[in-house]
Amino acid sequence: MLARSILITGSSRGLGLELVKQLSAANSSPGHIIATCRNPDSALELKKLAETHQNVHITRLDVGDEESYIPLVAHVEEIVGSSGLNILINNAGISPKSTRINMVKWKHMTDTFHVNAIAPLMLAKALLPQIKRAASQMDGGCLAAKRAAIINISSILGSIEENKEGGLYPYRASKAALNAITKSQCIDLRNFNILVTCLHPGWVQTDMGGKSAPLTPVESVSGIINTLHNLNEEHHGGFYQYDGQKLPW
Ligand SMILES: NC(=O)c1ccc[n+]([C@@H]2O[C@H](COP(=O)([O-])OP(=O)(O)OC[C@H]3O[C@@H](n4cnc5c(N)ncnc54)[C@H](OP(=O)(O)O)[C@@H]3O)[C@@H](O)[C@H]2O)c1
């Protein structure tokens, strides 16, 4: 089993939905898959999954709305109890269309930072007591997703070294910030035996990735799940893609 409990943000569609699909269909499916989304009523595919899999719990969460963290944390507590939360996957993200410098708007920058960089940090902070509790259930100092992990879904577009084409200011800068946040979290949380990494899912055919992307959500997510199984000390604070290949900052 990957973990007893896992929380995924942005589960209404795209990669988040595919993660819930594959995790709930797995032979050793996690005991609790907490699938969060902004509008559960309109997340029809997710609702169908929850009807057929008792371990899928749909919870409302707008990651940009700190007020909604209070009921979320209470709901997670009810679900996971004394076992704590093993894995937080910060998957929800946005990518405004603005590309070149003459198109970028102040609001694009602040909105994208809000959802892609600040929210993953603040959500990890809000859920830290439950994640620490899960980490403390295992003896020794090893790091593994099945123990406790924060997985920040980043993007190769956040890599400064790999930026050969410019533009995309809000998205690139927000994911670079998320990468910097991941590095600090890895230092701050090592003593609590909580593994932290950022993962690039590849360029994937979702609403965000578009139809020309080379990877299907099924391919990307099966790679991500396989990589999650293999994460250890060596990956702590690093930047990897869906298939486990290390990426440059
Ligand atoms: N697809 C790619 O090629 C690609 C490449 C690199 C990285 N990524 C990253 O992978 C992650 C998932 O992307 P995707 O391709 O699945 O995108 P997507 O198909 O556009 O789905 C985005 C998801 O994020 C949710 N979301 C957006 N803002 C939110 C908010 N404020 N609160 C809660 N949920 C919110 C959306 O919910 P609603 O349905 O409510 O809008 C939706 O479930 C993102 O972090 C993205 O940056 C994707």
Could you tell me the distance, in angstroms and rounded to a whole number, from the CA of residue 211 to the centre of ligand 1?
15
Query: Would you call 249 exposed, middle or buried from its count of C-beta atoms within 10 A (0-12, 13-18, 19+)?
Result: middle
Instruction: Dig out the tokens for 16 from the structure.
Output: 């988040």
How far, in Å, CA of 174 to CA of 171, rounded? 5
Which residue stretches of the chain are H helix?
14-25, 44-52, 69-80, 106-113, 119-135, 169-189, 217-230
Question: What pTM, to 2 d.p., does this model score?
Answer: 0.98
| Domain spans, the chain | 5-241
pLDDT tens, position by position, 40-55:
999 999 999 999 999 9
Supply φ then ψ for residue 48, to 5 degrees: -60, -40
User: How far is the centre of ligand 1, averaged over its atoms, from the C-alpha of 14 (Å)?
Assistant: 7
Q: Which atom of ligand 1 is nearest to the CA of 205?
A: 1
Tokens, residue 199: 């993962």
Measure the CA–CA gap between 231 and 138, rounded to whole angstroms: 16
Q: Strand 149-153 relative to strand 87-90: parallel, antiparallel, unpaired?
A: parallel
Any atom of ligand 1 within 6 Å of the Cβ of 209: yes
Centre of ligand 1 to C-alpha 17, Å, is 10
pLDDT in tens, the chain (249 residues): 899 999 999 999 999 999 999 999 999 999 999 999 999 999 999 999 999 999 999 999 999 999 999 999 999 999 999 999 999 999 999 999 877 999 999 999 999 999 999 999 999 999 999 999 999 999 999 999 999 999 999 999 999 999 999 999 999 999 999 999 999 999 999 999 999 999 999 999 999 999 999 999 999 999 999 999 999 999 999 999 999 999 999
List the beta bridge partners of residue 215: 204
- Take residue 31 and report the two structure tokens written for it: 């005991």
**CB under 8 Å to 1, separation ≥6 — which residues?**
28, 29, 30, 31, 146
Atom of ligand 1 nearest to the CA of 207: 19
Report the atom number in ligand 1 closest to the C-alpha of 116.
45
User: Class of 5-241 per CATH?
Assistant: alpha beta
User: Does the beta carbon of 168 lie inside 6 Å of ligand 1?
Assistant: no
